[in-house]
Amino acid sequence: MTNDLTRLSASDLASALAAEEVSSVEATQAHLDRITAVDGDVHAFLHVASEEALETAARVDARRAAGEEVHPLAGVPIAVKDVVVTKGLPTTAGSKILENWVPPYDATLVERIKAAGLPILGKTNMDEFAMGSSTEHSAFGNTKNPWDLERIPGGSGGGSAAAVAAFEAPLAIGTDTGGSIRQPGAVTGTVGVKPTYGGVSRYGLIAMASSLDQAGPVTRTVLDAALLHELIGGHDPHDSTSIDEPVPGVVEAARQGASGDLAGLRVGVVKELSGEGYQAGVSARFDESLEQLRALGAEVVEVSCPSFAYALDAYYLIMPAEASSNLAKFDGMRFGLRVEPAEGPVTAERVMSATRGAGFGDEVKRRVILGTYALSAGYYDAYYGSAQKVRTLIQRDFAAAFAKADVLVSPTAPTTAFKFGEKLDDPLAMYLNDIATIPANLAGVPGMSVPNGLSDDGLPVGFQILAPAKADDRMYRVGAALEAALESRWGGPLLSQAPDLKTTELAR
């Protein structure tokens, strides 16, 4: 029974909980057991909060037993990326510099999760400060791809994607600055959504690049993503970039999409996000999915976004520039790691320097140095200034494209999961993983990755759907329709084709 519970979608588990066929304590324990069984290999979690999760579960069960009205997702366990601050639970952002730091406050989205009664299973692994596409930049070891333990789970949110793919959690929170939700979703065969910028509060997200960061759902189904999106989304007075409007009707759109009718919908294929550089199997699955959408009644058109050619360049100026400033606070003065210089006087400046030298990994240092340089007097206009202009051009490209199409589509990532170490010494190759996901962050538009099959190497491929800002519901409609059609063709979810993980015998 317990093993079956971990296979349920969040939506199905929520129904079983509501019908009191199963308790939240049982469901939570089942997932904790699964974590114990497989996470030694997968290493999706940096911290497992068994006690707190079971307490929450028991409280929800009691409330339900008392006949209280509870949130539809109450009692459904969830994993949270370690870049999101959780009161009382260690939060490291994958960095030595925050090792053992326990935040005194909750991120807004965590407050909402707690208020709705979702037991938090633990904190998931990630590239340090969300900088990376493979989770190899975590200071606390690699997370493995449940499809092949030799391969990366994507990044930066490899932990959340792997946790969901390995059935350690039905739901997880990710954050996406350049693709950190969507690319791991693609390479692990899971669903990942980056909402419209401002759609989910950033209060309590340890910032990498403030103008690009966005939290969102990591799940196994489109409907589950919508349910979680609706829970964590919406205006937050603590985040002045938060949109002061109701969350688009994403759950409704997901349900409607699952009925499979896309008649009248215009799907735009972005010319610049396909072809050269994309693995053959990735391109093949993409073309098949387009056919599928046509079969559901959609009209497929080609659109061109010429400025996307500069997106990666602009991104790698704006993101490090903002990151260099956001990460300045990690200095050993108030919280986290503090390292005193090995020799010489112990001054504040020297402690800051020693702490940052010891506490940050290479990729973080690389980006801080890049960003510091890009913002320096005399270079600002050429680098940061120009990048902002490119950003405007990309927004215009999106506006023009959305005049011709209701949603835009592309492969989520150019390749399937690569092997550990393959791109670690080649930052540029690593950065290219995000070529298709970055434009959405630069423009603030929402994006989703839906599993759309296996490539020739037997590894999952993702299909990216982009919608105009504040029209997140559109991509849920399309995503759910494609998911339903593909699953009926495959005879079940893609993840059921994943190899079984070796389980460690439970000592209980």
Partner 1 sequence: MTAATTTGLVSYEDAVRRYDPVLGIEVHVELGTRTKMFCAAEVEFGGEPNTQVTPVSLGLPGALPVVNGKAVEYAIRIGLALNCTIAESCRFARKNYFYPDVPKNFQTSQYDEPIAYDGWIDVELEDGAVFRVEIERAHMEEDAGKNTHVGGATGRIHGAEYSLVDYNRAGIPLVEIVTRPIEGAGERAPEVARAYVQTLRDIFRTLGVSEARMERGNVRADVNLSLRTSPDAPLGTRTETKNVNSFRSIERAVRYEVSRQAGVLDAGLPVIQETRHFHEDDGSTSSGRVKSDAEDYRYFPEPDLVPVAPSREWVEEIRASLPELPVARRRRLQTEWGYADAEMRDVVNAGAVDLIEATIAAGTSAAGARKWWMGELARRAKQDEVALEDLSVTPAQIAQLQSLVESGRINDKIARQVLDGVLAGEGDPEAVVVARGLEVVSDDGALLAAIDDALAAQPDIVEKVRGGNQGPVGAIIGAVMKATKGQADAKRVRELVLDRIGR
C-alpha angle 413-417-421 in degrees, rounded to nearest 5: 120
The correct pick among 70, 131, 139, 209 for binding partner 1 (CB under 8 A) is 209
Q: At what angle do helices 472-490 and 250-258 cross, to 10 degrees?
A: 30
Question: Following DSSP, what letter does each residue of 37-91 receive, concatenated?
Answer: HHHHHH--EEEE-HHHHHHHHHHHHHHHHTT----TTTT--EEEETTB-BTTB--
395 part of the interface to partner 1, by CB under 8 A: no
Q: Does 340 bind partner 1 (CB under 8 A)?
A: no
Please provide the distance, in angstroms rounded to a whole number, between the alpha carbons at the two ends of the chain. Answer: 16
**Cα 123 from Cα 84, distance rounded (Å):** 9
Amino acid type, 214: Q
Q: Is 344 in the site for partner 1 (CB under 8 A)?
A: no
210 binding partner 1? (CB under 8 A): yes
- d(CA 174, CA 215) in angstroms, rounded, equals 6
CA distance 501 to 3: 13
Among 328, 369, 400, 506, binds partner 1 (CB under 8 A): 328
Nearest 5°: the CA angle 35, 152, 308 is 125
Q: Does 376 bind partner 1 (CB under 8 A)?
A: yes
Point out which span in 118-126, 245-253, 373-381, 403-411 binds partner 1 (CB under 8 A). 373-381
Binding residue for partner 1, selected from 172, 207, 339, 495, defined by CB under 8 A? 207
Residues 432-471 that bind partner 1 (CB under 8 A): none
Shorter beta-carbon distance to partner 1: residue 79 or 318: 318
Q: How far is the CB of 371 from partner 1 (least distance, A)?
A: 9
The answer to whether 253 contacts partner 1 (rule: CB under 8 A) is no
Q: Which stretch binds partner 1 (CB under 8 A): 53-61, 102-110, 186-194, 222-230?
A: 102-110
Nearer to partner 1, 15 or 395 (CB): 395
CB 86, CB 179: distance < 8 Å: no
Instruction: Look at residues 473, 440, 472, 447 and name the one whose alpha carbon lies nearest to residue 462.
Output: 447
**Span interacting with partner 1, options 131-139, 159-167, 280-288, 345-353, rule CB under 8 A:** 345-353
Among 79, 164, 218, 321, binds partner 1 (CB under 8 A): 321
In our burial notation (b when 16+ CB lie closer than 10 A, e otherwise), range 41-56 reads: ebbbbbbbbbebbbeb
381 binds partner 1 (CB under 8 A): no
Using the rule CB under 8 A, give the single segment among 55-63, 100-108, 148-156, 287-295 that binds partner 1.
100-108
Number of residues that bind partner 1 (CB under 8 A): 44
Which stretches of the chain bind partner 1, using CB under 8 A? 84-85, 91, 93, 98, 101, 103-105, 107, 202-207, 209-211, 237-241, 321-322, 324-325, 328-331, 333-335, 348-349, 352, 372, 375-377, 380, 384
